[in-house]
């Protein structure tokens, strides 16, 4: 028997950079660039900023691709869950080989590139400590609704591939979403 779950979440982003222009200027100019924001997800099966499903796992990849089917993927308690919409999709590479992330070419999710030649890449880490972890793939869709827009899932178009090529590595994966697409 599946356990009752309550899922909620909070997302905070803060990207801050500065470019200093000094050549040709009497007084150097510092130009800031930043993107920041915060979002709170409520426990609900549908609607904007809603989540009721959560998958958090670490995949160990060894010279071959691993495929997750989002219509039957285990949550933290080991219960198989069926996603209809993905609100947050995060892949963090913590190993020594880059990982391509893409949709399965015959039955993949419609919101990722199809096949390895156009894949998103989570580049290798410089060490395995969390402070120097490698590249990340991060996709966010907090607001869209309906079964044909945004990061929706359908039976037959539900698979995500994690491919390290000939290398071996580990990735942390977090997928938060809803059980209905509306």
Asked whether residue 1 is assigned to any structural domain, the reply reads no
Is residue 26's pLDDT more than 90? no
Asked whether residue 141 is assigned to any structural domain, the reply reads yes
**pLDDT at 62 (0 to 100):** 95
Average pLDDT over residues 11-40: 88
Is residue 163's pLDDT more than 90? yes
Determine phi and psi for 16, rounding to 5 degrees. -130, 125
Which carries the bigger pLDDT value, residue 87 or residue 22? 87
Query: What is the sign of the dihedral through the CA atoms of 15, 143, 49 and 150?
Result: negative
Please, what is the average pLDDT of the chain?
90
Per the structure, the complete domain to which residue 92 belongs is given by 9-178
Q: Which residue has the tokens 């009721």?
A: 52
User: pLDDT (tens digit, 9 = 90+) per residue, 49-103?
Assistant: 999 999 999 999 999 999 999 999 999 889 999 999 999 999 999 988 999 999 9
Count of domains for the chain:
1
Exposed, middle or buried by CB within 10 Å (0-12, 13-18, 19+), for 16? exposed
- Confirm if 133 and 94 have CB atoms less than 8 A apart: yes
Number of H helices, E strands in the chain: 0, 13
User: pLDDT (tens digit, 9 = 90+) per residue, 106-115?
Assistant: 999 999 999 9
Asked whether residue 4 is assigned to any structural domain, the reply reads no
Asked whether residue 2 is assigned to any structural domain, the reply reads no
Asked whether residue 35 is assigned to any structural domain, the reply reads yes
**pLDDT at 24 (0 to 100):** 84
Alpha carbons within 13 A on the beta-carbon side of 93:
26
DSSP character at residue 3:
P
Is residue 131's pLDDT more than 60? no
Average pLDDT over residues 19-48: 89
DSSP character at residue 117:
G
pLDDT range class, residue 27, cuts 50, 70, 90 = confident
Asked whether residue 3 is assigned to any structural domain, the reply reads no
**pLDDT at 1 (0 to 100):** 44
Is residue 28's pLDDT more than 90? no
- Confirm if 109 and 151 have CB atoms less than 8 A apart: yes
Q: Which of 70, 128, 66 is nearest to 97 (CA)?
A: 128
Is residue 169's pLDDT more than 80? yes
**pLDDT at 109 (0 to 100):** 96
């Amino acid at each position: 028997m599946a356990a009752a779950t309550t899922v909620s979440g909070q997302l905070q982003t803060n990207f801050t950079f500065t470019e200093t222009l000094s050549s040709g200027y009497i007084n150097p100019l510092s130009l800031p660039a930043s993107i920041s924001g915060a979002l709170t997800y409520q426990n609900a099966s549908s609607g904007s900023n809603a989540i009721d499903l959560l998958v958090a796992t670490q995949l160990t990849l060894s010279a071959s691709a691993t495929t997750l089917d989002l219509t039957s993927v285990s949550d933290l308690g080991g219960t198989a869950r069926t996603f209809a919409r993905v609100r947050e999709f995060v892949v963090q590479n913590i190993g020594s080989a880059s990982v391509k992330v893409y949709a399965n070419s015959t039955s993949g999710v419609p919101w990722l590139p199809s096949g390895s030649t156009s894949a998103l890449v989570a580049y290798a880490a410089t060490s395995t400590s969390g402070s120097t972890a490698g590249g990340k793939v991060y996709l966010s869709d907090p607001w869209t609704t309906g079964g044909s827009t945004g990061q929706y899932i359908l039976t037959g178009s539900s698979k995500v591939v994690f491919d390290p090529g000939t290398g071996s590595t580990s990735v942390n994966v977090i997928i938060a979403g809803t059980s209905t697409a509306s």
